[in-house]
Every structure is written in C-alpha cells, then in structure tokens.
A and B are shown apart, each in its own frame.
Chain A
Amino acid sequence: MSEPLLEVKGLAKHFAVKRFGFVSGHVRAVDGVDFHLDAGETLAIVGESGCGKSTVGRLVLRLLEPTAGSVRFEGEDLLALPETEMRARRQRLQVIFQDPYASLNPRMTVGAMLGEPLMLHRLATTETERRARVGELLELVGLRPEHARRYPHEFSGGQRQRLAIARALAVEPRLIVADEAVSALDVSIQAQVINLMQSLQKRFGLAYIFISHDLAVVKHIADRIAVMYLGKIVETATTEDLFRNPRHPYTRALLAAVPQPDPTVVRERALLEGDLPSAMNPPSGCLFHTRCPFVRDACRRDVPVLTDGGASATQSGHATACPYWPEFPPAAALAQSMGQEQDRIRLARLQAAFVSQTEAS
C-alpha cells in the first residue's frame, strides 16, 4: 500500500476562553480527529454548524496551529515545519472559502490576485509569462483573459467563486480544502461550480476535502464522508455505504433531517431533541448521549471509539463511534427515501441547470 496523500492523526484544537484576562475554560472545537485521503480522492466532512468541520480544514492547512495531533502530507509532518518551509509547502495545498464576497481582496485586480501565487512560488518569472498563465487560469474556470484587469466587485457571486478556484489552482496543488465552497451560491450556480470542480479534479488529479452541511451536494461529489459531531468524527464510510446504511444515531438523524421536496413522503421525524451542547463543557461519555433517541446508561459513562469492528478489509472502512449500532432498527427505509427520491429530484434539477448551459454554448 502506498502512503496516502494526507494522513491526519489525533488532530485537536482547543481555544482558550478568557474572562477578565484569565483562562476560564477551553472550547474543544476539534478533539482527536483521524482521517486520511488519497490522491485524486474527495473526502467530505459534514456536520451541523459549530461541530468543528471548518476548524479541521484550517488546521490541515495550518492556518490555525493545532493543540495536538499530526498532519502528514506527502509523507511529511506539516506541523513540524518552520514557517518559511511551510510557506513553500503551501504550493501543494490550497483552499476555497465559503463566501466569495469576503475571500477576494477588494483592492486587487484579478490579474494581480492570480499572478501573486505565481510570483511567490516562482512559477512564472517574467511579466509576459505571468500574464499568459493568468489568462489560461481564467479560461480554465470559464472566464475570459481580459477579465484580469477588473476588480472583484465587478463580478457576480458565481464568477467570484470561479476566481477563488482559479487562485487555488494557480499553484497546481495536490489538495484543495473547499470550506463550504458552494453553500453561499444559489442552486444553478452551485451546479456549475461543482461540475467545474469535478472536471478540474479529473484533469489535474486533485484531492478535495469538501466541508459542507449540504448532504445532496456531498452525495454528488464525495468518495468518502466523515460525519462530525462536537469536534469528533462519529462515523466515516464511503458515500454509498453511508447513505445506504447509516449506523450512528447522529448520522441517521442528519439524513432524516434533509428536507424533502415531496410532501406525500411519510418518514421518521423529530429524531433529534435539544440543542448542540456547548463545546466548552461537553457531555460525559458519548458526546451525543444528550440527544440520542437510543440512549442507554452506559452511554453517559463510556467514551465510544471510532471503530469499524475489525472488518475493515471487507467493509471498506465503515467506522462508527457507537458500539450499539447493530441493535438499532434498520435505517433502510430512511436512507431509501433520502437516497432515491429527494436526492434524485434535486440532482436532476442541478444537472439540468448545468446541461442546458453547456448545450447552449
């Protein structure tokens, strides 16, 4: 087995909470996360807001310094690198942010913005070379080379996100962290951007960490999914496996919570009670026990481990942080409705929007 492109072990980030200048507690935004990613693969990290999924993305990129854990990228521990070394490594890992209105410097022309990484990593030495490469990048994301003279405020949201993608691609990275990259866009633009990301992935062998709360989008783009709850991964599986056979009660609740466009579909509802507990003062035992419909006494005491039950070879690594999942009622019906009807309709609509646009050209 060759080494994975990215291997994350025991990643943790605790933010100190200060009151009157004294540390009064820690928010465990991310608390012991392990995952790996192969070249050309897409891993989706899903979970509700505040579960730490964006923090994971920033930790992998070392935009935040982790409290503990290791991030091995191409066999090298990124966290051990001094700052200058890390800067050089940034050529290989890139990021696309959620809000394309905030992630582009309003005082820089598109040309300057896309030319900057080329200059920083010496990928284009002369001015003509740089301009040519910027033009290529713009065409790659479906914009025109003459757009290089413009400022970000002259573009629409979808176009801006294309610019953000172009900036990420400028340095020819191996891995792109897409932090809710399409959440701020409307559905037809989402389809365009996702299709663009997928075609670029095929062309350049990119690996994506796709951070999202939108399960329909995730199902379309991801090879594998990791479900996070309160800073921990509670379940990880291939996309197909997870949607067909969700094990962890939280995953089941997430899938059940996806809105259905068909009002006649009857399904299990109100699986989840209460709010997300505070990450400053997490529950004992299983973090999910305060909201779990299948809670039992042991859950309040024992901390569950993310495990695939020793069947990794056959089960293609479907791991769950709940030891009782085999005893729960089958979630087949639930997954069926989600996996088939609702999702198919939504995807069909997404793709229709995209196809009509390409055919128009």
Chain B
Amino acid sequence: MSTTAIPLPAATAREESPGARAWRRLKRRKGAMVGLVVVVLFVLLAVFAPLIAPYDPTATSWSAVRKPPTWAHWMGTDEVGRDVLSRVIFGARASLSAGLVSVGIAVGLGVPLGLLSGYAGGWIDGVISRMVDAMLAIPFLILAITLAAFLGPSLSNAMIAIGVTATPVFVRLTRGQTIAAKVEDYVEAARAVGNPRLRIALRHILPNIVSPLLVQASLAIAGAIIAEAALSFLGLGQQPPAPSWGSMLNSAQRFLAQAPWMAFWPGFAIFLAVLSFNLLGDGLRDALDPKHR
C-alpha cells in the first residue's frame, strides 16, 4: 500500500445531492415559491373537495337560481341554483387531474420516444422526427379538439387527446437533450466500461437531462389545464352535471350580463392555476440551470 498511499488535501466541499441543491436554490425564488404554495393549495382543495365544499356541487335549487354572492353562497349560484363555490372546488379535481394525467401521458410517450430517437439516430430518428414534425404542424388546440371529438366526449378521452397532442414537444425536447448528452465523455466512459445501450440511455443520459424535462412538464401542465377548460367549454371534456371550470364557463356565457359571477370565479380559478404552474416552471428552470448561480 505504501507505494500508492498518496495523501490528499481533505475534501472541503459539503455533501449535497443535485436534488438538494436545486431545492435550496428554488427556495430563494419568491415567484416560484408563491406558485408552489398555490399549486399545493389547489391540490389539497381537489383531494379534500368533499370535506371543504359547503354544498353538493350537483344539487339544484329552484329557489336560488342565479343569485349573486351572499353569505350562504359566497360565489353565488348558477342557472339551476347550484353553489358556484362548491362547483369551483370540485372543478379543481377535473382540471388538476386533466393537467397531471395528460402531461403524464405526454411524458410517458414522449420521453422514451425522444431517447430512442436521439440515442439511436439514423432512420429510427428520421421516422420519429418526421412524425413529430407532422403533428407539430397542426395547432395544439385544433389537434386536441379533433382527437377528443374522434374519441367521444368524456373527461378521460379529453385527457388522452390532450396528452397525445402534447407528446411531440416532449419527444423533440428529449431528443435534442439526448443528442447533446450522448457525446459527453461520461457517456463514452459508460460505454467503455461495458454498459449495454439501454442502461446507458436510462442510467447515464436520462438523469442528466431530467431538469429541462421537469421544467417543460410543469409548463405543460398549465397548457393542459387550459386545453381541458377549452374542451369542456366546447362540451368535449367533463360531461354535465359533473363540474369543471371549462364547462362552467360554457354555461355562464349565456348569462354574462345577468350573472357575471358564474363566469368570473371559474375563470379566475383557471387563471390562478395556470399562473402558478407557470411561475413554478420558470423557477424550476432557473434553479436547475447550472449556469445560473
């Protein structure tokens, strides 16, 4: 041992995993923290909706049709006398699950395809990239509406339609990041050590490109919430009488002059949720970017 016992200056750097470092940097950003808090509140609202909502969101009351906000109904009532507050609270379930599930679908489809495309290259990359180009040539909402109409109106079909429509962005992002990462020395070193291709892609490339994917996912959730609202507004998403912010807006538009509260609150909820996810996404981007110090 004596031949190799070369002393080293004691390592001074503190032990900190990449995740812990990102969290420390995220905490410093006010906008991101506000976004995170509001997102968490919405999630709690959606999860505990039956406990929080003062009324049954589908219970009608002919004695309280289109009543403006009162102490009994904080956000007023709609055209069949349902409590708007309760419907907004239950609507968070549809919107958040639409956001999460459809982005989950998009990530689940897009990331593996992007990894394959970027890492394999050649004709595989050619085929996948051309399909992505074709899908991206169609405007997001038009494609989502077409798919949703094709699948039939229901909330789960809307989620599938939004998820599939959001997939190409993830394929492209993952592909680009993979191409950049695969020429790194550490990927070459992983090959030299004898890693099989699949393991290189999953264990060496994927963890190193997770940051931009995370940012894109948080921004895509905001987009998916809007898309769900749009589909529900058009009657292709959440089906009545179950509440969703989009379908509430749809029924409110006929009474905009007489009962503006019917449109205001679901609209405000959409605005707040989308803004929070965007703030969170921007903050994540800054916190995970190694160039920002």
Listed in ascending order, the chain A residues whose CB lies under 8 Å from chain B are 61, 63, 87-88, 90-91, 93-95, 97, 99, 102-108, 116-117, 120-121, 139-143, 147, 149-151, 153-156, 159, 164, 167, 170-171, 192, 195-196, 199-200, 202-203, 357-358, 360-361
Could you tell me if A107 and B193 are in contact, using CB atoms closer than 8 angstroms?
Answer: no
Could you tell me if A105 and B15 are in contact, using CB atoms closer than 8 angstroms?
Answer: no
The size bracket of the interface on B is 20 to 34
CA distance in complex: A107, B15 (Å): 13
Could you tell me if B190 and A63 are in contact, using CB atoms closer than 8 angstroms?
Answer: no
Could you tell me if A192 and B6 are in contact, using CB atoms closer than 8 angstroms?
Answer: yes
Contacts of B188 in A (CB 8 A): 63, 95, 97, 103
Chain B window 180-212, contacts with chain A (Cβ cutoff 8 Å), 1 for yes, 0 for no: 000011101111111110000001100110000
Could you tell me if A147 and B18 are in contact, using CB atoms closer than 8 angstroms?
Answer: no
Contacts of A63 in B (CB 8 A): 188, 191-192
- A107-B18 CB under 8 A given contacts A63-B188, A142-B6, A155-B13: yes
Shortest CB–CB separation between residue B111 and chain A, in angstroms? Answer: 16
Could you tell me if B195 and A120 are in contact, using CB atoms closer than 8 angstroms?
Answer: yes
Could you tell me if B4 and A200 are in contact, using CB atoms closer than 8 angstroms?
Answer: yes
Shortest CB–CB separation between residue A146 and chain B, in angstroms? Answer: 10
Could you tell me if A106 and B18 are in contact, using CB atoms closer than 8 angstroms?
Answer: yes
Partner of A361, one of B5, B9, B17: B5
Could you tell me if B17 and A151 are in contact, using CB atoms closer than 8 angstroms?
Answer: yes
CA distance in complex: A264, B5 (Å): 40
Could you tell me if A199 and B3 are in contact, using CB atoms closer than 8 angstroms?
Answer: yes
A-B pairs with lowest CB-CB distance, top 9:
A90-B194, A154-B13, A103-B185, A142-B6, A107-B207, A102-B185, A199-B3, A105-B186, A361-B7
16 A-B residue contacts at CB 8 Å? A87-B196, A88-B194, A93-B192, A97-B189, A102-B184, A102-B185, A107-B207, A140-B4, A150-B13, A151-B16, A154-B15, A154-B16, A171-B194, A195-B6, A196-B4, A199-B3
Contacts of A120 in B (CB 8 A): 193-195
Partner of B18, one of A143, A151, A159: A151
Does residue B257 face the partner (Cβ distance < 8 Å to A)?
Answer: no
Shortest CB–CB separation between residue B174 and chain A, in angstroms? Answer: 16
In the complex, residue of chain A having the shortest beta-carbon distance to the beta carbon of B14: A154
